[in-house]
Amino acid sequence: MHERAGQPALETDLVDIDALLAAYENLVPDPAVPAQRVVFGTSGHRGSSLNRSFNRAHIAAISIAIAEYRAVQGIEGPLFIGSDTHALSAPAEHTAREVLLARGVHVVSAAGTGDETFVPTPALSHAILTHNRDRAADDPHRADGIIVTPSHNPPVDGGFKYNPPHGGPADTDATNWIAARANELLESGADLYAASAGVTHGHEGGYDFLGEYVEGVENVINVAAIRDAGVRFAAHPLGGASIAYWGRSEIVMTSI
């Protein structure tokens, strides 16, 4: 265990959010520098805007590559997108949404306000699987998704992950294709975002990730048995993306 575990944060631990967001918008990665290229690790690309490894150019390039990958795979259904509480997540989702919309992708994002707008990864997977439940593997109307999160990474980081129609993390065949194409786009030197700025046509911003996920829990877990057993437990929502989900789950547990 770390020697400072459980102790209050020091001033040196805090992140300059304004600087982080400004770097996302203004710093341009150099694809000739390996650390500034698109690299998919555990299901996604991660990095910080401050060291030019997670900037608007990266997200625009990856989003274009995903739009092209969908076309190659014959995927024409909606693309669900959600993000967590990391500071870089909201601007990255905004960039991705506009770039995808400009390329004719039907993008679906979260309904609600405040904590309800954050989307944990399982909720995004649930949305994809629910849409695809009765669809054949070659149905062009299958859905896929993007979850904008670096998971357990520190506050300065952003993360961007693609989930294909099976709902889980993309395999290396997909991520290698997407990363290679994204780096080609970065190497072109073009402004990959400019033509997409302000595009909203095709955006559906009212999907209830929270309600659909929580209401589906009782279909796979006997929540009544848990309630009746009087079990008490604590949950750590980590970065906070699931805070609203735990609150809604408590209501479901007590209403059965």
Each residue's pLDDT expressed in tens, for the chain with a length of 256 residues: 888 888 888 888 889 999 999 999 999 999 999 999 999 987 799 999 999 999 999 999 999 999 999 999 999 999 999 999 999 999 999 999 999 999 999 999 999 889 999 999 999 999 999 999 999 999 999 999 999 999 988 899 999 999 999 999 999 999 999 999 999 999 999 999 999 999 999 899 899 999 999 988 878 888 788 878 888 877 777 778 888 888 777 655 555 5
pLDDT (0 to 100) of residue 13 = 83
What's the CATH code, domain 15-209?
3.40.120.10
* pTM > 0.85: yes
pLDDT (0 to 100) of residue 187 = 97
pLDDT (0 to 100) of residue 237 = 75
- Annotated catalytic residue 43: no
- The domain limits of the chain are 15-209, 214-255
* Contact predicate 38/63, CB 8 Å: no
pLDDT (0 to 100) of residue 205 = 87
Catalytic residue from among 43, 83, 151, 188: 151
pLDDT (0 to 100) of residue 223 = 78
